[in-house]
Amino acid sequence: MGLDAPSEEDMYKCVHCGFCLQACPTYLETGLETESPRGRIALMKAVNEGRIGITPSVTRHWDLCIQCRACEVACPSGVPYGKLIESTMSQVNSRREKSWTTKIVSNIILKRIIPHRNRLLLIIKFLRLYQLTGIQKVLRNSGLLNLLSPYLSELEKSAPQVPATILETSGQTIRAIGVKRSRVALLSGCIMPLVNGPEMEAVIRVLTRNGCDVIVTQNQVCCGAINSHMGDLQTTRKLAKRNIDAFLNSDVDAVIVASAGCGIRMKEYGDLLRNDTAYASKAQTLSSLVKDIHEFLAELPIIPPKGHLNYQVTYQDSCHLSHAQRITEPPRMLLRSIPGIKLIEMDNPSKCCGAGGTYTITERDFSLRLLDSKIKDIDKTQASIVATANPGCVIQLQYGIKINCHNRTVKYVTDLLDESYSSESTV
Ligand code: SF4
Ligand code: SF4
């Protein structure tokens, strides 16, 4: 019902052929029709036709969907599954009785913390203090957290280490090195500038080294990807409008996004705001300016780095880059452009690692099952570095490697480019 009702036209494009089943990580894990795209669409149709209601047992199957969109790529009928599950979750979100974890995530973290940089900064500073002062060590060694809640204790262990460097978003411009080829704005994101400050600075260095003036646009906010994942499209629209106002004032050739999940959210602002008379056209304009960093560098084209890196690297496709944005070759091409890097493909590189939005928090057990299977595929490559393109995947893979005691590191593709550029002077 309402503005965000799943489109009947999209829903009935599904002809139940089942080609998508083998692409779906939750189906592969369970073997159950109800945990497959076809099964989930059948449930949407059944609700739409009034044969069943939106009951907890029905919503359970939609909740277990990671929203990885692998089924979209496999579907010969062009079913826009991502759009369908997003709008289905918005219907569920407004009706159901929420568990305490979902309430904390959707009502507090996503609405009251993430959209407000100062509040988020406060929490991140607290987390850094907790990690640096030894409180974390004491809590872990005492087993107190585990006693209180094994779930929280396990979740705490997967939290990323907060660095000292924070990327400022004050509208600063970082000038191109050498001949100027482009002027771009950078989406800093909500959590990335705080927990991935050094990696965001690496992104800026790679862009400037490739002749781009980079503006870290002021007044930008979270892209809204996590809110839409949870079915809160109202908050997503508010955030989208604030970003449109911020970025369209920047007068740039492109808006660069270094996080796959944020990239697809912004590329789909046009569709999100299609019924908004004041913003529909502006949303289309912003969406058309958005470029994933790998896509952008490949098209520019990149100035090949010369610094030699003697690494064996395997690449994990982030779902929202490979399935949603259909970008698979550019990151691999960029990795191959680095002298000395040997790219070893893992089995199933585009199978989800289990990170997916808030999935690691709300569906912890399932998320860890998928992570386990991913770590086994990575292990077979014996690569020392796992490269990827999305902060959620980085955190998830780092955790998988940590609990399996593997001697590997997880890096963004842009980290490796930056490292190669930085070592050029020594070549
Ligand atoms: S492949 Fe497409 S049409 Fe076939 S069952 Fe899956 S979603 Fe439906
Ligand atoms: S989005 Fe991913 S988990 Fe959800 S039905 Fe499609 S393939 Fe399965």
Higher pLDDT, 192 or 52: 52
C-beta of 19 in contact with ligand 1 (< 6 A)? yes
> Closest ligand 2 atom, CA of 82?
1
35 Cα to the center of ligand 2, angstroms: 8
- Element spanning 77, H or E: none
Long-range contacts of 52-57 (CB under 8 A, 24+ apart): 54/91, 54/92, 54/95, 54/96, 56/96, 56/97
Domain ranges of the chain: 8-93, 100-157, 173-224+231-299, 312-426
Q: What is the pLDDT of residue 42?
A: 98
- 8-93 domain in CATH 1.10.1060.10? yes
Q: Is the pLDDT of residue 97 over 80?
A: no
- Whether 312-426 and 8-93 are alike in CATH topology: the answer is no
Only one residue has tokens 């945990």, namely: 35
- Position 94 scores a pLDDT of 78
CA–CA separation, 223 and 218 (whole Å): 14
Name beta bridge partners: 212. 182
Q: What is the pLDDT of residues 264-312, one digit of tens each?
A: 999 999 999 999 999 999 999 999 999 999 999 999 999 999 999 999 9
**385-407 average pLDDT score:** 92
Confidence of residue 426 (pLDDT cuts 50, 70, 90): low
The two structure tokens encoding residue 247? 């970025």
Mean pLDDT score across all residues of the chain: 93
DSSP 300-366: TT----------EEEEPPPHHHHTSS---HHHHHHHHTSTT-EE-PPSSTTS--S-TTTHHHHTHHH
Atom of ligand 1 nearest to the CA of 81: 7
pLDDT at 381 over 90: yes
Q: How far is the CA of 36 from the centre of ligand 2 (A)?
A: 7
Backbone angles phi, psi at 184, to 5 degrees: -130, 155
Backbone angles phi, psi at 215, to 5 degrees: -105, 125
Helices 233-247 & 260-267 angle (0-180, nearest 10)? 90
**Distance (Å) from CA 71 to ligand 2 centroid:** 6
Domain 173-224+231-299 belongs to what architecture?
3-Layer(aba) Sandwich (3.40)
Contact 220, 252 (CB under 8 A): no
Band of pLDDT at residue 217, cut at 50, 70 and 90: very high
Ligand number nearest to the C-alpha of 64: 2
Nearest CA to ligand 2 atom 7: 24
Residue 396 has pLDDT above 60, yes or no: yes
CATH level 2 (architecture), domain 312-426 = 3-Layer(aba) Sandwich (3.40)
> In this structure, which residue's CA is closest to atom 1 in ligand 1?
75
Residue 10: which of 90, 66, 78 has the closest Cα?
78
Of 297, 316, 296, 314, which is closest to residue 305 (Cα–Cα)?
297
